[in-house]
Amino acid sequence: MLTNEQVRDIETLVHPYTNLATHRETGPLVLERGKGVFVMDSAGKDYIEGMAGLWCTSLGYSNAELVEAAREQMSKLPFTHLFSGRSHDPAIELAEKLKEITPMPVSKIYYGSSGSDANDTQVKLVWYMNNALGRPKKKKIIARLKGYHGVTVASASLTGLPYNHIDFDLPIQGILHTSCAHHYRYAEAGETEEAFSLRLAAELEELILREGPDTVAAFIAEPVMGAGGAVTPPRGYFEAIQAVLGKYDVLMISDEVITGFGRTGEWFGCTAFDFRPDTLSCAKALTSAYFPLSAIFIPEHVNDILVDQSRKIGTFGHGNTYSGHPVGCAIALKTLEIYKRDKIIEHVRTVSSRFLARLERLAEHPLVGEARGVGLIGGIELVKDKPSKEQFEVKKGVAAKSCAFAQEEGLIVRPLSGDRVAFCPPLIISEAEIDELFDRYERALVKTHAWVRSQGMMA
């Protein structure tokens, strides 16, 4: 029997990334409050938020300092914008702070509201830059199969997941996709991670040559693939990829919407995996998800083009109403202050050994084919047969069922494509809470295994 709140939800909301037909029967999980790494539903049951919301609530729930930063800024200047040369101190100071921690040379910061619009802006800037440089054919952007970069028309085109394209008439022209860097699922028999990485780099080079280097402008990648399965890159991957990009004057865009601000144990994921992007997108943990805010790190040579084109055209014809929103910037400043003052990145490095040990222990279970992560992000893959890596039928929804059992046990985790389950708790999580998270999921795995066998899907 659905509650009154659930019925009201069904009658009023369209839910993102939800089977809307099934939702009408099951109803939503209605959450009322949160504290630390826990959230509570309307019946008072607590859950460990094992996904930090959507990879984003890095400092956990009900952080009083972030709430106060928002209140103080709202009482002083609740809104202004950056159009037509206006500005405000929170936007200026935040840009200064971001430039201090940047992993590569940065001239300017451009603000948006989400990771999707940040990557959408990246596409526009690549096109704009090459038009300004007299290279009107150099516009194609290469992303990766199973990569995730957002849901706007351009960013969803970059995304390499079928559900983001089917019946949306995507991807748009000029967006290409190269191989997914998932060694467990796509390596050839006996192929080492290093050899796999070199093969993917060779495939990327073949794609660039086939399309014509004078037509390929940029390559975009997440340091750790998020929605595509919480997949960490194989050894040597980004080194091999970056060598190819440099050979053909192709920009490297690092999508750090998930991996920025400590998730991997470094300020940015590109540092964790030892590559140097030309430009970078970030969002989510920038404000610990307490306010929608994204940022693009713009290098000097791109900024010079923006300035020169403004002289020629008369303006820089791009912007969002909420770019550099003062409340968001104030919260982001306090978030960065807490990261540094409380040594959050050092904390991630300390507790990640417990997190990764418990994650990797899941691989001992008969259902788990792979368990791998970095810092405080990881994924497992549920398989029908471990030696052959045989997968369950997609329509059986084994990972989704596993996450439903986890919810029964008081844990929120997320099913992803290919029967993968992601773990991405708030960065403030303690070792004891890590143990409780995995204890709850292990109980869910026991239930999942029993269910799979009861359905005749495995012996």
Is the pLDDT confidence value at 162 over 80? yes
459 part of a folded domain: no
Q: Helix, strand, or coil here: 32? A: strand
Q: Which residues, other chains included, contact 100 with Cβ-Cβ below 8 Å and sequence gap of 6+? A: none
Task: Choose the final residue of a domain: 299, 314, 340.
Answer: 340
pLDDT at residue 64, rounded to an integer: 98
* Pairing verdict, β 46-49 and 294-298: unpaired
- H helix count then E strand count, the chain: 16, 15
16 part of a folded domain: yes
The phi, psi pair for 108, rounded to 5°, reads -140, 165
How many domains does one find in the chain? 2
Tell me the per-residue pLDDT of 49-93, one tens digit each, with 9 for 90 and over.
Answer: 999 999 999 999 999 999 999 999 999 999 999 999 999 999 999
Tell me the per-residue pLDDT of 191-230, one tens digit each, with 9 for 90 and over.
Answer: 999 999 999 999 999 999 999 999 999 999 999 999 999 9
Q: Which domain holds residue 306?
A: 71-340
Average pLDDT over the chain reads 97
Global confidence as pTM: 0.96
The residue count for the chain: 459
Alpha helices in 314-396 (DSSP H): 326-341, 344-361
35 part of a folded domain: yes
CATH number of the structural domain spanning residue 319: 3.40.640.10
395 part of a folded domain: yes
Tell me the per-residue pLDDT of 368-393, one tens digit each, with 9 for 90 and over.
Answer: 999 999 999 999 999 999 999 999 99
CATH number of the structural domain spanning residue 439: 3.90.1150.10
Task: Choose the final residue of a domain: 340, 364, 391.
Answer: 340
DSSP annotation of 373 reads: E
Is the pLDDT confidence value at 459 over 80? no
Ramachandran assignment for 44, one of left (phi > 0), alpha (psi -120 to 50 degrees), beta (any other): left
Q: Helix, strand, or coil here: 253? A: strand
How many Å is the maximal CA-CA distance in the chain?
A: 70
335 part of a folded domain: yes
* Cα–Cα distance for residue pair 369/341, rounded to 1 Å: 39
Task: Choose the final residue of a domain: 318, 340, 362.
Answer: 340
Tell me the per-residue pLDDT of 296-355, one tens digit each, with 9 for 90 and over.
Answer: 999 999 999 999 999 999 999 999 999 999 999 999 999 999 999 999 999 999 999 999
The verdict on 82 and 176 lying in the same domain is yes
**Cross-strand partners of 221:** 254
The verdict on 164 and 307 lying in the same domain is yes
The verdict on 8 and 96 lying in the same domain is no
434 part of a folded domain: yes
Enter the tokens of residue 260. 């920025």
Is the pLDDT confidence value at 20 over 90? yes
How many CB atoms are located within 10 Å of the residue 129 CB?
21
111 part of a folded domain: yes
The phi, psi pair for 230, rounded to 5°, reads 50, 55
